[in-house]
Chains A and B, each alone.
Chain A
């Protein structure tokens, strides 16, 4: 049987961001896969070292377009801990509200993208229509749809007014109704189930071995969520559950994400109803004492971690950003081998990849930097990040 090399990416309609798969296919079956990452290195870590904390926060927020609040929260939590600043409860609640709204809009976006990858464009249109309600809420609360810029060291930038809270609360029942509809659709849309069930299967052992995080890991039965296991903000004070599933395939991850949207709706409602009074920020010192911290946060895609080292100035000496997508890539490559070509988009989409956020390094002169192995099929050097 002849083997063909199918290049997927860096420009390909299935990928919303640059990434390269060199797929060696035997007919329709994938026999070998090379993954090339890091096409859009932006030098954010270095740029963050050049700015004081106030100016670094909007930059850190722009690591990712979807989990913008995640990155800025994990960064400011780290700095606050080094400074020893206690964030007032009202600010904590507001941060939680924004974080959970962000999780909702990210998961709804994902649901649409996953449906689109298997050609189910109707669901794609519907979820993105309903996602507008979440984005409108975020726009009303923070003044922007994507980059909320709610955080600052020591609290949040703006307060929530009672009309804003009421407007946000009014949208929750509508979204809950929609989520029920999506669960029903997911259960009885046979063509979609055929593309989701048994695809990209990752057992619990493999998920642990390859370090899968977030809904990818929880969809394989890894009962781990930073929000519960290393609580931050107000997650230890409010009622909510970690959603897990044992299917381990794309369907399991879909169920986890829809379950998480439901949980997020509950968290947002609880936080808005129990919003404590008080100040929204405390005055933080300009400079941070020397220190190191590994700050963790459960972003919509999984655990995001910032390693921060300060040196007594108003800037970080080093910030190292580990995005959840990087942790999930290996599991994708593992579950793709042996699958038909047609499963590439949906398996890749199932981890909700955020590629440009993952680009931490850039390699010039790829040929020389190769790991020294050449593919027996392409004769070209592979390069693994």
Chain B
């Protein structure tokens, strides 16, 4: 894919920004619908996330008293930009054309930005609930980020490449990392759930304690963009886990015309991200919210220990089979 026009189309349209936004809305719809059905409710109609987006985009933007307006406006954009950039390096229809050694690290750090954006928003809001929510978001970041990064770097360690697309290619020749490194897979799912601030890790925006946490003072397009960033992060995170642990959109055999191959890869991408979503939605439905101190204990005592154990196992396996 060296044709610059094709590359622009890739970045902007199909597996790029437009697709990401559209898919993130489908993702949100399915998430809400699945949880609703599990709770024996009907749930929202298909167009609800899109309607919400359009509605909030058109709503009045209210500035809390004394807020730093330019920064307050810019932060949601930064969050959204980080997530959309991360999506470019995640394989959607086969390996990403922009892949390079180290894009895994870049994606991980870009995915951290929305959380920091939330903290900034909370801090800038000049609202006690938002400030506490922002502090909780950052405290939680310190707890889940270490095991999450460790878990996602284990496949890189075994595959001997720092590129998401490279890890995907390695799995095509060997086994899925979900089977090779089940502990890392589970930790990555938990970390993603925490990163997306969904139950049981919705501590920063705990509705019954902090109204909406850092989101409290967000209105109009700020709310719309931040929400879109969060939903897009769900897609990017699921796609990342699908690529790193579930073999991503690559097929073990080649299909004759490349168009069909790409289509099959795309379908595989949809299937795998939706499978990840199903797991995330089930966890969201089946749990109560942790307290920050409980999260601290669970995160550092158990999850980080498990991640380190997985690292040790991977190193031993590498030595055994004469890894890279």
Q: Which residues of A contact B (CB under 8 A)?
A: 4-7, 12-14, 28, 115-122, 125-126, 129, 189, 191-192, 194-195, 340-345
Contact = CB atoms under 8 A, between A and B. Distances in A.
Interface stretch (B2-10, B223-231, B280-288): B280-288
Contact of B291 (A7, A13, A340): A340
Contact of B39 (A126, A191, A195, A341): A126
A191 B287 contact: yes
Contacts of A120: 199, 287-289
B65 interface: no
B206 A122 contact: no
B128 A7 contact: yes
A6 B129 CA distance: 8
A194 B294 contact: yes
Given A192-B288, A194-B294, A345 B39 contact: no
B289 A118 contact: yes
A28 B293 contact: yes
B200 A342 contact: no
Contact of B200 (A4, A14, A119, A344): A119
Contact of B209 (A14, A126, A194): A14
A5 B131 CA distance: 12
Interface pairs A-B: 6 shortest CB-CB: A119-B289, A120-B288, A125-B39, A14-B208, A345-B208, A191-B287
Interface in B161-216: 199-200, 202-203, 206-209, 211
B200 A125 contact: no
Given A28-B293, A120-B287, A343-B291, A4 B208 contact: no
A120 B199 CA distance: 8
A217 to B, nearest CB: 25
A182 to B, nearest CB: 14
B308 interface: no
B149 interface: no
A283 B199 CA distance: 58
Contacts of B38: 122
A6 B128 CA distance: 7
B141 to A, nearest CB: 16
A125 B202 CA distance: 19
Nearest to A25: B132
B292 interface: yes
- Which residue, of B39, B288, B291, B293, has the highest number of chain A Cβ atoms within 10 A? B288
Given A115-B288, A194-B294, A342-B209, 5 more contacts: A13-B208, A118-B208, A119-B288, A126-B39, A129-B40
B157 to A, nearest CB: 31
